[in-house]
Chains A and B, each alone.
Chain A
Amino acid sequence: MRLGHLHLDPTMTDFAAEPHPPRVLRRMTRARRFRRQLVPYLYLLPAVACFVIWIYEPLAQAFVLSFQQWNLLPTAPKTWVGLDNYRNIFDLPKFWQALGNTWYYLVGLLPLAVLLPLVIALFTQDLPPRSRNLYRALIFVPMIVPPVVAAAVWRWLLDPSHGILNLGLQGLGTKPIGFLSDPDLALWTITFITGWKLIGFATLILSAANAAIDESLVEAARLDGASNWEIIRDIRLPLLSPTLMLLILMVVLLGAQWSFSYIHVLTEGGPLGSTTNIYYLLWQFGFGSLSVGWSSASAVILFVGFGLLAAALFALKAKVTFHDD
């Protein structure tokens, strides 16, 4: 047997042990490194693009438009007017009235949209499941009714001559009340309707947060002889405080916005400007009187004002809320 042809090439056996030529290795890792660094940004890109297209770019454009005069027609020119728009709206008594009304809306919504749902959530937690679900469903129904439909129904209920509320009052012997036509009452009427619509939503959130409280804490307190009120005050309320602060934040920052449909259907800002708020006025400037510059200027003022309010509320939230860790 001749083993000559089985002679192994020494370079082949050592091939696997030798490293790759240095040049090729560096090129591949640089490209791969770059791609690896790029991948997270690619994942972020759709979300960031949405933010930029739908929030930041219009915000910037609104800021620029607040210094221009334009009537919404694409064929009409946008003229630069500097601070004139701001001067004009500060000049308008209706603007200050709207700002004041916005404040009343926010303050007026808190009892209905935060306090009452808290009470309902606490009182319905111990009911047998069937009746608890029934109550919660009933309370949630106003939330699902479309706002315009709800407003139309309320208009009929509150009508001074034919609405059942006034017919009832007349039965008791008092004169009919113009809930929506009396400048002193109209704002509170609309605040009530906005709050009524929100009760279900707030109750749901607070009920869920309440159910998440560790029952062992409550049992321990009961063993120590705590009364119901003491349990609520010392255990449930502190542990609900994150949710409560969140609700307060939402109502304060978004409450006036939620009232838009009801104002538009029921009073259009009247009577005598008593129900208008900064959001409604902003819309009226833009689409009612086609003054986009005024609308954008009000929007910028609103942004700055509510931004400061939000910052203050977030600071408060960090200080006040209690977490069960």
Chain B
Amino acid sequence: MKTTLLAVAVALSATAALAQSMPAEVTEPVTITFYNYNLASAGNGADATRKMIAEFEAAHPNIHVEGVPVQPQDIATRLQADIVAGQSVDLVQMPFAALGFAAENLGAVALEDIVPAEELAGHFEGMVPNGLELGRLNGKTYGLAYTFSTPVLFYNADLFRKAGLDPDQPPATWAELKEAALKIKASTDALPLATGIYGPTALDWLMQGVINSNGGAVINADRTEMTFASPEAIEAIAMLRDLAQEGITENLSITAQMEGMAAGNTAMYLQTSAIQGYLVKGATGNFELRAAAMPAFGDKPVKPSNSGSALSLHSTDPVKQRAAWELMKYLTSERGYTIITSEIGYLPLRPSIVNDPEYLGEWVKAHPLVQPNLAQLEKLAPYVPLPGPNYLQIGISMMDAMEMATFGNDDDVAGILTEAQERTQRLMP
């Protein structure tokens, strides 16, 4: 009874606030909070985010932005704790996987409900349609695509040359990757391959891309059946197991992998392009860092999955809504994406700035690293979120089984995955 009353109260206050429209401008000083996970990381965009906030505050003297660093896996619990405590929650960098949850349970506001139609259309013009679509639920925009990345194969050109490989011809398929890795293993003492596939923060975002690229899928299209024990998926995991058994890749933590690559001790790293800024810092004056597209399975087309976040607005006060919307517009403007791409490593969701000398034109010429990432934008297969109230447990169980199949002592990949699929199917809604 108490919870339904509370839910009704939250809904009523939200609709009551929406009934008043937000002002056209912010005329009095106001403070808004910006929950952000780049701010919480050491190597992934904290400085660039602070820079964007500072530039925005300089252009809008009436608005003060309070950045709140939160780890991405804690955003849902942190938000609900702060909402219940009565804190002002205004703008949130919401991982795509949690967007549905945010719209239903955390009070994310549909932009169509508060922003005049012309202003909205004007801002959306020039943004990549794929990106806008990901933030839409039931026809309304609850999240504006903000940071967006695809998996990219970073590689150390110096180590390639040392192993007798041509850095201009990076491996394009997993078979080529294995050959190159074996050569690297034989002639250097570097770790041939690191991947961001496993780990507590990854859940299944990269794994979906790997399995999709082999023609399989982790879950079926209407999200009612787990399909990660299909022959294509088993084949993909068996391929990974083979790499592990040959000593080409090891089960290291994400920190160890990032540090290893940035220090020049790892030859290839398949990970979100978002760590580009961090790797570039480590590579400067140390080794030559290059990037290639995600490897393919033979002739099958690569289907990289996206990781990233959208900006969701949670204010109920009209003045704060206007302030938060202004910040949203700034962060997703040409200038915002210029900083996001050049200083962090995410994709520019306004393709027009790539060749524009005022924005990214010069930078892209000097940093060819971003090209594979941009090219993959066309081939994206969107990440399919897992359904139901037990979605996290389903994802964790599935990834645990896959990690066991890849790095464990049991060779029976098909058996492990099939058993896990039956088990997680029981957790489906």
Contact = CB atoms under 8 A, between A and B. Distances in A.
Interface string A250-292: 0000000000000000001011110000000000010111110
Interface in B248-291: 250-253, 256, 260, 265
B80 A72 contact: yes
A76 interface: yes
B426 A91 contact: yes
A294 interface: yes
Given A289-B396, A290-B77, A290-B392, A73 B105 contact: yes
B252 A181 contact: yes
A322 B200 CA distance: 50
Given A74-B3, A273-B400, A291 B80 contact: no
B3 A76 contact: yes
B175 interface: no
A272 B396 contact: no
A78 interface: yes
A271 B4 contact: no
Contacts of B200: 268, 270, 288
Interface of B is mostly: helix
Interface stretch (B43-51, B109-117, B401-409): B401-409
B427 interface: yes
B393 interface: yes
Interface residues of A, number: 28
A73 B105 CA distance: 8
B84 A74 contact: yes
Nearest to B84: A74
B384 to A, nearest CB: 18
B105 A291 contact: no
Interface string B398-419: 0010011001100000000000
A79 to B, nearest CB: 8
Contacts of B250: 181
Contact of A75 (B105, B397, B403): B105
A122 B322 CA distance: 72
A285 B392 CA distance: 9
Most buried by A among B4, B390, B404: B390
A74 B80 contact: yes
A153 to B, nearest CB: 15
B4 A77 contact: yes
A69 interface: yes
Contacts of A77: 3-4
A161 B265 contact: yes
A323 B247 CA distance: 59
Interface in A32-73: 69, 71-73
B7 interface: yes
B251 A181 contact: yes
Given A74-B6, A75-B7, A272-B404, A294 B251 contact: no
Contacts of A285: 393
Contacts of A273: 400, 404
Contacts of B161: none
B389 interface: yes
Interface residues of B, number: 33
B103 interface: no
Contacts of B73: 288
A59 B273 CA distance: 46
A268 B396 CA distance: 13
A136 interface: no
Interface in B371-393: 389-390, 392-393
Contacts of A91: 423, 426
A272 B403 contact: yes
A72 B77 contact: yes
A92 B105 contact: no
Contacts of A270: 200, 251
A76 B400 contact: no
B76 interface: yes
B251 A76 contact: no
A228 to B, nearest CB: 49
Contacts of B403: 272
Contacts of B163: none
A91 B419 CA distance: 11
B10 interface: yes
B392 A291 contact: yes
Contacts of B400: 94, 273
Nearest to A267: B253
A133 interface: no
A71 B79 CA distance: 13
Contacts of B84: 74
Contacts of A29: none
Contacts of B260: 161
Interface string A125-169: 000000000000000000000000000000000000100000000
A62 to B, nearest CB: 18
B263 to A, nearest CB: 9
A272 B199 CA distance: 10
B396 A75 contact: no
B251 A271 contact: yes
Interface in A184-228: none
A71 B6 CA distance: 16
Contacts of B4: 77
B427 A272 contact: no
Contacts of B408: 183, 272
A75 B393 contact: no
B265 to A, nearest CB: 7
B385 to A, nearest CB: 14
Contacts of B80: 72-75
B200 to A, nearest CB: 5
Contacts of B423: 91-92
Contacts of B76: 290
Most buried by B among A75, A78, A94, A161: A75
B77 A78 contact: no
B392 A288 contact: yes
Contacts of B265: 161
Nearest first, the 3 A-B pairs at minimum CB distance are: A289-B392, A75-B7, A289-B393
12 contacts: A73-B80, A75-B7, A76-B3, A76-B105, A94-B397, A181-B256, A183-B408, A271-B251, A272-B408, A273-B404, A288-B73, A290-B392
Given A94-B397, A290-B76, 8 more contacts: A74-B6, A74-B84, A75-B6, A181-B250, A183-B408, A271-B251, A273-B400, A288-B73
